[in-house]
């Protein structure tokens, strides 16, 4: 088996507000992307990796190439291929460009946000295993802990949503590779996650338990939280 990995790292990091594309911002002394690549080391079988970087940004591309060279060493012989591609204007376009660069013989693909830099290697292996076991789309999700209100355009509450049936989803999201590729080829509209594209093409998607450390670094507070988590892990 060959696991295709897409790491989308082409966003600009507007909400983090540091003037550097988010995946290349320093977290505990290293770029966010370096941490994200370490999540791949526990995957079984062959692994092919594509990283989407900000289009036309030579310094981000050079840094991604260097990180791919150094951080993927633990995969050893298992590393089948690496590619760095220009991302697009949206995450959706970045995923589309990345999928096209993966070797066609991969049986499954995991799509991951570089911004979820602290997702664990075990988590990646678990998602890959679930895709192979079910041949479905597999999405990690956490229960919703806040009460959710549905409102109308004026802000008036129209409904309290039953949160028992809601999940906050994360990445990596895993899929049979040829099916996700076909879904991206067929899909015209933009979606905010890969499971939505997969489902729009008729695929079945299942939720499995998420993990707290796979939270997305979005704003400055998230970067501090990631620093603290790493400091605790490193004792």
Q: Which residues bind Mg ion (CB under 5 A)?
A: 11
- CB 173, min distance to ligand CTP, A: 12
Q: Nearest 5°: phi and psi at 136?
A: -100, 170
Among the listed residues 178, 201, 211, the one whose alpha carbon sits nearest the alpha carbon of residue 105: 178
Report the distance separating Cα 39 and Cα 70, nearest Å.
14
Q: Which residue is nearest to Mg ion (CB)?
A: 11
Contacts (CB under 6 A) with ligand CTP, residues 8-37: 8-15, 22-23
H/E element holding 108? strand 108-113
Of 90 and 134, which has the nearer Cβ to ligand CTP? 90
Determine, following the binding rule CB under 6 A, whether residue 191 of this chain makes contact with ligand CTP.
no
Of 89 and 122, which has the nearer Cβ to ligand CTP? 89
Question: Could you give the dihedral angle defined by the CA atoms of residues 167, 168, 173 and 179, in that order, rounded to the nearest 10 degrees?
Answer: 50
In angstroms, what is the C-alpha Rg of the chain?
Answer: 18
Please check whether residue 91 is in contact with residue 6, taking contact to mean a CB–CB distance below 8 angstroms: no
The stretches of the chain forming alpha helices (DSSP H) are: 32-37, 58-71, 91-100, 121-134, 177-186, 194-200, 220-233
**Residue from 6, 37, 52, 118 that binds ligand CTP (CB under 6 A)?**
52
Binding mask 87-126 for ligand CTP (x = CB under 6 A): xxxxx--x------------------xxx-----------
Of 46 and 91, which has the nearer Cβ to Mg ion? 91
Q: Bridge-partner residues for 113, per DSSP?
A: 8
99 binds, among Mg ion, ligand CTP, none (CB under 5 to 8 A by kind): none
- CB 197, min distance to ligand CTP, A: 14
Contacts (CB under 6 A) with ligand CTP, residues 208-227: 216, 218
> Residue length, the chain?
235
61 binds, among Mg ion, ligand CTP, none (CB under 5 to 8 A by kind): none
Please check whether residue 101 is in contact with residue 82, taking contact to mean a CB–CB distance below 8 angstroms: no
Question: Which residue ranges make up the site for ligand CTP (CB under 6 A)?
Answer: 8-15, 22-23, 52, 87-91, 94, 113-115, 216, 218
């Amino acid at each position: 088996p060959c696991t295709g990995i897409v790491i989308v790292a082409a966003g600009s990091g507007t909400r983090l507000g540091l003037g550097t594309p988010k995946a290349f911002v320093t977290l505990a002394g290293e770029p966010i992307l370096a941490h994200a690549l370490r999540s791949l080391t526990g995957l079984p079988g062959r692994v092919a990796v594509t990283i989407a970087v900000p289009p036309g940004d030579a310094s981000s591309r050079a840094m991604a190439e260097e990180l791919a060279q150094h951080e993927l060493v633990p995969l050893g012989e298992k590393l089948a291929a690496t590619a760095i591609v220009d991302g697009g204007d949206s995450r959706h376009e970045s995923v589309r460009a990345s999928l096209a660069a993966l070797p066609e013989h991969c049986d499954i693909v995991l799509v991951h946000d570089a911004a979820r830099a602290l997702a664990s290697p075990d988590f990646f292996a678990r998602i890959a295993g679930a895709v192979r076991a079910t041949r479905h789309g597999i999405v990690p999700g956490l229960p919703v802990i806040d009460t959710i209100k549905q409102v109308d355009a004026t802000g008036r509450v129209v409904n309290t949503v039953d949160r028992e049936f809601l999940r906050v989803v994360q990445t990596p999201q895993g899929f049979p590779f040829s099916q996700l590729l076909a879904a991206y080829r067929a899909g015209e509209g933009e979606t905010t996650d890969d499971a939505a594209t997969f489902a729009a093409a008729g695929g079945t998607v299942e939720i499995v338990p998420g993990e707290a450390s796979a939270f997305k670094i979005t704003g400055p507070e998230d970067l501090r939280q990631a620093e603290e988590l790493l400091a605790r892990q490193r004792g």
